């Protein structure tokens, strides 16, 4: 069933953030749990912890701290849309978030999207106001099950030079 969804989560960033990672819109599970990439089958946090050489983080405060301590900002491309469940392919009536508000405070060196749909919406709705292109990463969603975790980790290593991190895994 399609529903209109307003983005319920505040962006995670501070003046030290160097990269911005954007999803499309929080899934129903992420909205329920009030945090980004909160579905237990989403591999985002596994990827990030592996890249940063950190043990798994499970609660929202630890995830927020992990991001901020490594210069990572998180948000989503869309402020609202009509969507069916968590299906990015079903999105209609997309309204963008004001990504420029983060760029006004943080020294963002690169913008990344987690998936093709987020990349397309960013390019179409946001890039003109930010003046920065986005690098599209593969989706960490369980819907992208064809891509193995080790392959995702390898593809996400593109984040590390922007963070001043040395790759710790493959």
Residue 170 pLDDT: 39
pLDDT of residue 167: 44
- Alpha helix (H) residue ranges in 7-58: 28-33, 44-52
- Please indicate, yes or no, whether the overall pTM of this predicted structure exceeds 0.85: yes
Burial of 85 (0-12, 13-18, 19+ CB in 10 A): exposed
Q: How far is CA 75 from CA 2, 21, 96, 108, 126, in A?
A: 23, 7, 11, 13, 13
One digit per residue, the tens of pLDDT, for the chain of length 170 reads: 889 999 999 999 999 999 999 999 999 999 999 999 999 999 999 999 999 999 998 899 999 999 999 999 999 999 999 998 888 888 999 999 999 999 999 999 999 999 999 999 999 999 999 999 999 999 998 888 788 999 999 999 999 999 875 444 43
Residue 112 β-bridge partners:
21, 135
- Mean residue pLDDT of the chain comes to 92
Q: Which of 161, 165, 140 is nearest to 52 (CA)?
A: 165
Tell me the CB-side half-sphere exposure of residue 166, using CA atoms within 13 A.
0
Kindly list the structural domains of the chain, giving each domain's residue range(s) and its CATH number in brackets, ordered by start.
2-162 (3.40.470.10)
What percent of the chain shows pLDDT beyond 70? 96
Taking only the tens place, the pLDDT of each residue in 100-138 is 999 999 999 999 999 999 999 999 999 999 999 999 999
């Amino acid at each position: 069933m399609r529903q209109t969804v307003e983005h319920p989560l505040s962006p995670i960033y501070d003046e030290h953030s160097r990269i911005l990672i954007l999803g499309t819109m929080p899934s129903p599970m992420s909205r329920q749990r009030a945090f980004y990439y909160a579905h237990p089958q989403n591999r985002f946090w596994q990827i990030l912890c592996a890249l940063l050489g950190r043990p798994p983080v499970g609660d929202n405060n630890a995830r927020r701290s992990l991001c901020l301590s490594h210069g990572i900002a998180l948000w989503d491309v869309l402020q609202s849309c009509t969507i069916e469940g968590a299906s990015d392919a079903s999105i209609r009536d997309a309204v963008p978030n004001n990504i420029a508000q983060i760029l006004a405070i943080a020294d963002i060196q690169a913008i990344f999207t987690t998936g093709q749909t987020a990349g397309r919406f960013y390019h179409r709705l946001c890039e003109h106001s930010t003046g920065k292109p986005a690098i599209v990463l593969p989706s960490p969603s369980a819907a992208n099950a064809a891509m193995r975790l080790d392959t995702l980790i390898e593809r996400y290593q593109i984040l590390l030079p922007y963070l001043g991190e040395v790759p710790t895994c493959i």
